[in-house]
Amino acid sequence: MSFGSAVVAALAAYIAVLAFLGIRARAARASESLADFYLAGRGLGGVVLLFTLYATQYSGNTLVGYPGEAYRVGFPWVMSVGFMLAIVVVYLVIAPRLRASSERHRFVTPADWLDHRFGHPGLTRVTNLMMAAAIANYLLAQLMAMGHVVAGLSDGAIPYATGVLVLTAAILGYELLGGLRAVAWTDCLQGILLAIGLGGLLAATVFSGEGIGEATAWVLENEPAKGFRPDATMQATWASTLLLIGFSGAVYPQAIQRIFAARSGASLRKALSVLAFLPFLTTLPVFLVGILALPRLSGLSGVAADQVLPALLRGWASESEWMFWMCILTVVGVVAAIMSTADSVLLTLSSMLAKDFVAPVLRRRSGGAVEEARITRIGKGFSLAIMGVLVAIALTPRISLWGLLELKMELLVQAAPVFVLGLTWPRLSAKAALAGVICGTLLAAGLTLAGYGKIGGVHAGLLGAMLNAGVAVAGSLAFRRQDD
């Protein structure tokens, strides 16, 4: 069996299991309420919560992009272990209070907490809009990655467009059937596949001949800039990345919804206590793969950084039958990682659009309450519409949105001061927070779009967030008033 046809067969089996889980999740639903569909009835236990946080947090970029980054940057990319952990550190700051508050007030989306804490529609709308724009960009990136990864790793047996269309249809299928319950259950499968895929990668690196020690010696000898202590600019980028990823990753709306969906504080505590170690089982092996690629692929001309993993896998697959099947599992693990991120983002985005943007308009028009089942149906309609638009963009290669995609973290991190200060500092005022968000976003977006993504190694998004927090604190102190 060729590598390409084995990948097709493995992916077909994987999609069949996803469909089965979607149908089971549909059967397990208790009602058509928003909390049942979007928060799995607030019933996620510790293990499912751990897997869904894990599979959502680690995207395809972790498995495909990070070996490429390690190959390009060298040993300083060891920072990736620290910055994925930084997200869990920020959870320690926000999750206990957010969780306690959500249990009392039954939040469904992050905007519910914003409304509860600040009671300022302008702040809620602006923050929500920024988070929605950031995760829509993120979703588009996942769809395009699905197509590229499947085409690249199946040796062209599955064309880019087919990969995007089939996998998008699979996500929509189980998500519309079972909401977060289906997404969380499939996240468990995807998390296990991700772990097996990483195990495969590690096994492949161990059994492929050259050890990490030899690779390190080669790097120090032939590419010292990638093995010696990083320079001052790279050190600044290291610190900046820890803060940027830590704060923006923790306020991903899909992550916040999982805090609301936890069955109890105890299940959330257990999930986070294990999640703290997963960078060592996920990001570290991926980093090592990129380092091992340095001597292996150094002689090849024109190896783009993001082709490192496919190039290594094809090479390893031809070494033995055992390695062949480990590489197939790795491919399925990579696809699972991308899908598990895409489905969570889609579900959260549709809940935000239906509940936070459309439901208030319907309520105003009808002059009263709107049935939750109706909002759930509208959300499902949004899921279809969002995927329709994003797939159309993903299938039009002439439209280049990479400039916009770069704005994802820059936008998202501007929501962090609102959540972190809002949860920890009672004096934070809504008006000052809104002024901070606007100033920070303008600075971050302006610098990025003007081509200054980093200044002195520090990300424009972080500079924006620092201005954002500064304006929020100074404004709150100046007005000395509490909005809540």
Partner 1 sequence: MKLRRDPLSHPWLFVVIAALYGFSIPWWFGEERPSIVLGLPSWAVVSLTCTFAVSCLVSFAARRLWDDGKD
Site residues for partner 1, 195-214, by CB under 8 A, read 211-213
State the SS3 of the chain. Answer: CCHHHHHHHHHHHHHHHHHHHHHHHHHCCCCCCHHHHHHHHHCECHHHHHHHHHHHHCCHHHHHHHHHHHHHHCHHHHHHHHHHHHHHHHHHHHHHHHHHHHHHHCCCCHHHHHHHHHCCHHHHHHHHHHHHHHHHHHHHHHHHHHHHHHHHHCCCCCCHHHHHHHHHHHHHHHHHHHHHHHHHHHHHHHHHHHHHHHHHHHHHHHHCCCCHHHHHHHHHHHCHHHCCCCCHHHHHHHHHHHHHHHHHHHCCHHHHHHHHHECCHHHHHHHHHHHCCHHHHCHHHHHHHHHHHHHHHCCCCCCCHHHHHHHHHHHHHCCCHHHHHHHHHHHHHHHHHHHHHHHHHHHHHHHHHHHHHHHHHHHHHHCCCCCHHHHHHHHHHHHHHHHHHHHHHHCCCCCCCHHHHCHHHHHHHHHHHHHHHHHHCCCCCHHHHHHHHHHHHHHHHHHHHCCCCEECCEEHHHHHHHHHHHHHHHHHHHHCCCCC
Q: Quick one: 5 or 424, whose CB is closer to partner 1?
A: 424
3 or 77: CB nearest partner 1: 77
Query: For partner 1, which residue of 192, 195, 196, 239 counts as binding (CB under 8 A)?
Result: 239
CB of 462 to partner 1, least distance (A): 15
Least CB distance from residue 70 to partner 1, whole Å?
A: 11
- Token couple for 344: 């969570």
By CB under 8 A, name the one of 20, 216, 305, 357 that touches partner 1.
216
Which tokens belong to 73? 């940057």
Smallest gap from residue 85 Cβ to partner 1 (A): 6
Binding-site size for partner 1 (CB under 8 A) equals 47
Q: Which of residues 19-78 bind partner 1 (CB under 8 A)?
A: 75, 78
By beta-carbon proximity to partner 1, the closer residue of 138 and 287 is 287
| Residue 365 near partner 1 by CB under 8 A | no
Interactions with partner 1, residue window 396-425 (CB under 8 A)? 424
Closest distance of CB 173 from partner 1, Å: 35
C-beta closer to partner 1: residue 192 or 239: 239
Task: Give the Cα separation of 414 and 126 in Å (integer).
Answer: 11
- b/e code 163-197 from CB counts within 10 Å (16+ = b): bbbbbbebbbbbbbbbbbbbbbbbbbbbbebbbbb
Q: Is the dihedral of CA 345, 452, 286, 282 positive or negative?
A: negative
Residues 271-290 that bind partner 1 (CB under 8 A): 272-274, 276-277, 279-280, 284
Are the CB atoms for 11 and 161 separated by under 8 Å?
no
Tokens 């999740």 correspond to: 25
Q: Candidates 28, 89, 157, 165: give the one binding partner 1 (CB under 8 A).
A: 89
If one asks whether residue 230 binds partner 1 (CB under 8 A), the answer comes out as: yes
451 binds partner 1 (CB under 8 A): no
Q: How far is the CB of 90 from partner 1 (least distance, A)?
A: 10
142/167 Cα distance (integer angstroms): 11
CB of 261 to partner 1, least distance (A): 16
Closest contact distance (angstroms) between CB of 75 and partner 1 is 5
Smaller CB separation from partner 1, 106 or 363:
106
- Shortest Cβ 216–partner 1 spacing (Å): 5
The footprint of partner 1 on residues 241-270 (CB under 8 A) is 242, 264-266, 269-270
Decide whether 95 or 437 has the Cβ nearer to partner 1.
Answer: 95
Q: Is the Cβ of residue 231 or residue 371 nearer to partner 1 in the bound state?
A: 231
Question: Tokens 């304006």 — which residue?
Answer: 471
Which span sits near partner 1 by CB under 8 A: 189-197, 220-228, 361-369, 436-444? 220-228
Q: What token pair was written down for 159?
A: 């064309």
Give the residue, chosen from 27, 229, 301, 368, that forms a contact with partner 1 under the rule CB under 8 A.
Answer: 229
Regarding 86 and contact with partner 1 (CB under 8 A), the answer is yes
Adjacent-strand bridge partners of 459: 454
Rounded to the nearest whole angstrom, what is the least distance from the CB of residue 43 to partner 1 in the complex?
A: 15
Q: Which of residues 96-115 bind partner 1 (CB under 8 A)?
A: 96-97, 99-100, 103-104
Q: Does 217 bind partner 1 (CB under 8 A)?
A: yes
Nearer to partner 1, 83 or 138 (CB): 83
Which residues lie near partner 1 (CB under 8 A)? 75, 78-79, 81-82, 85-86, 88-89, 92-93, 96-97, 99-100, 103-104, 211-213, 216-217, 220, 224, 227-230, 232, 235, 238-239, 242, 264-266, 269-270, 272-274, 276-277, 279-280, 284, 424
